[in-house]
């Protein structure tokens, strides 16, 4: 099972009204991922960065998915926070989301993805429709990506 942490970035959402976080949990549960942590933080670089580092360095998650804070609004700082903590950027993952999305608004996303130690971190959109669509787009490559990060480098077809 892939050990996964979910971080919702929002100044207004709480667990009872975090539809995007629930969508991520539901999709991952149906696909054999294990949720080890789910939290909500405000749109603050320091708080986002602290949680991402905790999920990787302390909890040792295989995958961290964020939702929210990837747009053009002044308070949208999830990509900046993610760039601080990652060691390698994996731009193909977010390119895949943008290209395969059915909405032109996907091109307004500033999402990033990358690796810290042996953990893949991916920024997903904040909207429920966007998070559902984008997670389903990248889902087919996530398990293989994590296997490679963990050192299992045999080729899959």
Question: Taking all residues of the chain, what is their mean pLDDT, rounded to a whole number?
Answer: 96
pLDDT at 49: 98
Q: What fold does the segment set 2-149 form as a domain? A: Molybdenum Cofactor Biosythetic Enzyme; Chain A (3.40.980)
Mean pLDDT on 76-105: 97
Mean pLDDT on 98-109: 93
Handedness of CA 21, 98, 75, 4 (dihedral sign): positive
Following DSSP, what letter does each residue of 85-122 receive, concatenated?
A: H-SEE-HHHHHHHHHH-SSGGGGG----EEEETTEEEE
Model confidence at 153, pLDDT cuts 50, 70, 90, reads confident
Mean pLDDT on 108-134: 97
**Does the model's pTM come out above 0.85?**
yes
Torsion angles phi and psi, residue 116, rounded to 5: -125, 120
Dihedral-angle region of residue 132 (phi above 0 means left; psi in -120 to 50 means alpha; beta otherwise): alpha
pLDDT digits (tens, 9 = 90+) for 135-144: 999 999 999 9
pLDDT digits (tens, 9 = 90+) for 110-119: 999 999 999 9
Map out the domains of the chain as residue ranges.
2-149
The alpha carbon of 56 is separated from its chain's Cα centroid by a whole number of angstroms, namely: 13
């Amino acid at each position: 099972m892939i050990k996964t942490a979910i971080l919702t970035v929002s100044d207004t959402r709480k667990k009872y009204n975090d539809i995007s976080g629930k969508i991520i949990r539901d999709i991952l549960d149906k696909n054999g991922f294990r949720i080890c942590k789910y939290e909500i933080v405000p749109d603050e670089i320091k708080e986002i960065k602290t949680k991402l580092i905790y999920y990787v360095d302390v909890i040792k998650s295989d995958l961290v998915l964020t939702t929210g804070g990837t747009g053009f609004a002044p308070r949208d700082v999830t990509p900046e926070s993610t760039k601080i903590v990652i060691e390698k950027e994996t731009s193909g993952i977010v390119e895949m989301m943008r290209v395969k999305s059915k909405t032109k608004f996907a091109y307004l996303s500033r999402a990033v993805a990358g690796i810290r130690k042996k953990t893949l971190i991916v920024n997903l959109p904040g909207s429920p429709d966007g998070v559902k669509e984008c997670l389903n787009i990248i889902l087919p490559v996530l398990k293989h990506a994590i296997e490679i990060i963990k050192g299992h480098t045999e080729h899959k077809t």
